[in-house]
Structure 1
Amino acid sequence: MITGAAGATVYYNLKLRHPILDLPIIDYDLALLLQPMLLLGISIGVVLNILFAEWMVTVLLIILFIVTSTRSFFKGVETWKKETIIKKEVSRRLTSSNAGAEDVAYKLLPGGSRVRNEGYKTPEVSVVDNVYWKDFTILIAVWIILLVLHIFKTYTSTCSTTYWILNVLQVPVAVGASVYEAVCLYKGTRVVMSSGDAVITWKVHQLILYCCCGILAGIVGGLLGLGGGFILGPLFLELGIPPQVSSATATFVMIFSSSMSVIQYYLIGRFPVPYAMYFVAVATVAALVGQHVVRKIISIVGRASVIIFILAFTIFVSALSLGGVGIADTIRKIKEGQHMGFDNICAYNPV
């Protein structure tokens, strides 16, 4: 379901430009920094999903979703207040000078958006002209290499020497790609310009922290069967990236991680294809409709902070629904006296 929604959203976003700068709405430098580590984390998370009992996964899911939705909500409130200040300033200047809207200079909110009289509107261009193909090729290459390793792993015995070698080989592939981007960002040969303010000056500990966050997001995504993008979105907002760009970049990264998660669960026999295809179709349609609706809402209210509130609300509702189902299932298993502890991965046989 997440893969379908992410795929539809990415297809929609590939044609869009940054709301203010002459850049794609997807920040490919952030994607290249975090996507390889996210994929590595996904592999770890899928293994942990086999080890952990379902009630453990449910508890982690509820805690993570509530914390993430709360932080996103307060970030939305902060951005809303900044947008209100700018709107009032624009109104005051227009009233005092009797000038047209075109005479007023608008600024980018730190972590927010530009406010215009005509509302928010992101221009569309050709996908061919809007994609950074070198970065995109690297991302695809990392995804394919890790996929091949996982496919080879299915032809080995679980916990055999070859099995662990194939697992370990994922590390240099993922770390190598992220380190390449991190070194370029540190030296300044590549820059993250999506914030619209001064170019971000990266420090070593920041780069290490963000790479670790990428792995953590992947572990959580693989463990819970998610893409991990819902963690990266708020992380990008903390960097001062506008909500539109944060959402687009997180979704772009999530298409790689969620698809990898789907394939890994399929390879270990935990992916009901007919059931999943139904939700993929529904999620794809919902994502395309949602993109149009959200853009329309932002155009009307002139506030990009709406995206943050939608993100917070979606995560919170997910915590309630998925958590409720998980709790009910856990209670049923307790009554039936089923095993509720850790499982042995070496004894696991795909169904």
Structure 2
Amino acid sequence: MAAAAGLYGRLNRSSTRGFLAYVAAGAACAAVLACFVIPAAEPRAGDANGGLRLSSRSARVWPDLAFNWRVVVATVVGFLGSAFGTVGGVGGGGIFVPMLNLLVGFDTKSAAALSKCMIMGASASSVWYNLQVSHPTKEAPVIDYKLALLFQPMLMLGITIGVELSVIFPYWLITVLIIILFIGTSSRSFYKGILMWKDETRIQMETREREEESKSSCAARDVVIDPSCEEPLLCQPQPKEKSALETFLFNLRWKNILVLMTVWSSFLVLQIFKNNSQSCSTFYWVINILQVPVALSVFLWEAVQLCRESRARRMDGNWECVCEASIEWSPAQLIFCAFCGLLGGTVGGLLGSGGGFILGPLLLELGCIPQVASATATFVMMFSSSLSVVEFYFLNRFPIPFAVYLICISILAGFWGQSLVRKLVHVLKRASLIVFILSSVIFASALTMGVVGTQKSISMINNHEYMGFLDFCEK
């Protein structure tokens, strides 16, 4: 147990500067590309549209829920995407939106709304499953509530920013930014998975060698030992086993959950007021700005607590981590976490996902073991996706029968995925499987978003549609 816990702490010490440089370079390339593409798309003087047809807001297209090959294929893809997406802690919005848009036939906005429904269903079932399992290495909940409190408010604020940007950003630019980010995060996660796999292999080999040496020494001395202690690792003091109910109650942290629910409710109320106000009016912008102090207040409250606990432990000579992340909490680290939370939420708002494409890899980067990273990211996504679902319901953005059907599929997939993968991890003693699943889902999302984005951009070019920034107040 101690070796497994120390493994991820050692991997965490690898530098993230290369990845950050990659993201910055990718954003710079996208900005330079925008400087060349957008001026070419600007209307010419003397012509109202400069020979270009302004891209209209997508019309609502809601196919009927009927048993046909499209729905069957979408069910299979949605089930597998939900199962493995929640195991990796990324949700799967990058797969759901193209699937619902191209395969089933929903318009882009409705597909994004239904994607949130699927993420909510899978996340809720995964959280229920994770509340009934124990932490693999120590006496603690598998969901890290401290990290959830740190990231959830910034993630929700980022989702609001992402939704606003999706109104004005051209589709091709959103596609380029998402592909750059997804390829970077999937590559980084895959690299960490390889390192974890190698260290797990080394630990297993050392364990077998110690067992063989112990058995050989016992046989040489001709000592009779307890058959139940033939494997030394199993004879170490083990934590007291809890019943299913005791584990469930132990994993619940009502104080933290109430704080998260308060943040969720505050954002919901503000979103409802914003959606019922006139776009770009004074009241609209006041409601928008009010979301900033709500998010910052909770983030700073949790950040101050983490700094104080970390400093108090160091002064007492206790170098144990305050929470699952094996880093030394400092203002610089907390600012970095706030930025990543905003970035993850912004990507979620642009894409129609829950923000897990950033949060899952980030938690691994901070030093969380894969089981905790997956459980915590899924827990945070449950709040962010459910907020969007309630908001979209009031806006009548998705058909109820289709939403209920997809939510049921995702709930079943969440249970199946968590149960299957956790059993594989337990049998093979390879938690790196979760990291490989995470990187695979992100890469698949980059691939599908790239294909869909390229196809739509080519169609817009052929139809001479406007490909520059749109007017926010004309939405």
TM-score range, shorter chain: 0.7 to 0.9
Match of 1:55 among 172, 181, 189: 172
What residue identity is the alignment partner of 2:354?
Answer: G
What residue identity is the alignment partner of 1:69?
Answer: S
1:97 equivalent in structure 2: 214
1:252 equivalent in structure 2: 379
2:324 equivalent in structure 1: 194
Between the aligned partners of 1:106 and 1:81, the Cα distance in structure 2 is 26
What residue identity is the alignment partner of 2:135?
Answer: H
1:69 equivalent in structure 2: 186
4+ long deviations beyond 6 Å: none
- How high is the TM-score relative to the length of structure 1? 0.87
How far residue 218 of structure 1 moved from its aligned partner, in angstroms, is 0.7
- The residue correspondences of 1:256-271 to structure 2 (distance < 5 A) are 256-265=383-392, 271=398
Match of 2:303 among 182, 186, 197: 182
Mark the runs of 5 or more structure 1 residues left unpaired by the alignment: 108-115
1:111 equivalent in structure 2: none
Verify: 1:343 aligned to 2:470, yes or no: yes
How far residue 122 of structure 1 moved from its aligned partner, in angstroms, is 11
What residue identity is the alignment partner of 1:303?
Answer: R
Between the aligned partners of 1:177 and 1:271, the Cα distance in structure 2 is 31
CA contact (8 A) 1:2 1:226 kept: yes
Identity of aligned residues (%): 49
How far residue 226 of structure 1 moved from its aligned partner, in angstroms, is 0.9
- After superposition, give the CA deviation of every residue in 1:113-159 in whole Å (9 maximum; x if it has no partner): xxx9xxxx998545333211101100010010011011011221111
Q: Once superposed, what is the RMSD of the aligned Cα atoms?
A: 2.5
Between the aligned partners of 1:284 and 1:330, the Cα distance in structure 2 is 34
Between the aligned partners of 1:71 and 1:122, the Cα distance in structure 2 is 37
Between the aligned partners of 2:235 and 2:157, the Cα distance in structure 1 is 41
- After superposition, give the CA deviation of every residue in 1:145-177 in whole Å (9 maximum; x if it has no partner): 011011011221111111000011111111000
1:84 equivalent in structure 2: 201
State the secondary structure of the residue aligned to 1:337: coil
Residues paired across the two proteins, number: 333
CA contact (8 A) 2:120 2:386 kept: yes
CA contact (8 A) 1:52 1:343 kept: yes
Between the aligned partners of 1:206 and 1:105, the Cα distance in structure 2 is 38
Cα 1:332–1:106 shift into 2, 3 Å: farther
State the secondary structure of the residue aligned to 2:329: coil
1:157 equivalent in structure 2: 278
2:418 equivalent in structure 1: 291
- After superposition, give the CA deviation of every residue in 1:204-233 in whole Å (9 maximum; x if it has no partner): 111111111111111111111111112111
What residue identity is the alignment partner of 1:341?
Answer: G
1:27 equivalent in structure 2: 144
2:120 equivalent in structure 1: 3
Between the aligned partners of 1:7 and 1:44, the Cα distance in structure 2 is 24
Verify: 1:41 aligned to 2:158, yes or no: yes
Between the aligned partners of 2:198 and 2:268, the Cα distance in structure 1 is 44
What residue identity is the alignment partner of 2:427?
Answer: I
- The worse-fitting range, judged by mean Cα deviation, of 317-326 and 93-102 is 93-102
CA contact (8 A) 1:66 1:316 kept: yes
CA contact (8 A) 1:14 1:130 kept: yes
Verify: 1:305 aligned to 2:432, yes or no: yes
Verify: 1:127 aligned to 2:244, yes or no: no
Between the aligned partners of 2:263 and 2:243, the Cα distance in structure 1 is 30
CA contact (8 A) 1:214 1:232 kept: yes
Between the aligned partners of 2:463 and 2:399, the Cα distance in structure 1 is 24
Between the aligned partners of 1:101 and 1:311, the Cα distance in structure 2 is 37
State the secondary structure of the residue aligned to 1:343: coil
CA contact (8 A) 1:17 1:23 kept: yes
Verify: 1:236 aligned to 2:236, yes or no: no
Between the aligned partners of 1:122 and 1:53, the Cα distance in structure 2 is 53
Cα 1:61–1:273 shift into 2, 3 Å: farther
Larger radius of gyration: 2
Between the aligned partners of 1:5 and 1:344, the Cα distance in structure 2 is 35
CA contact (8 A) 1:17 1:123 kept: no
2:443 equivalent in structure 1: 316
How far residue 277 of structure 1 moved from its aligned partner, in angstroms, is 4.0
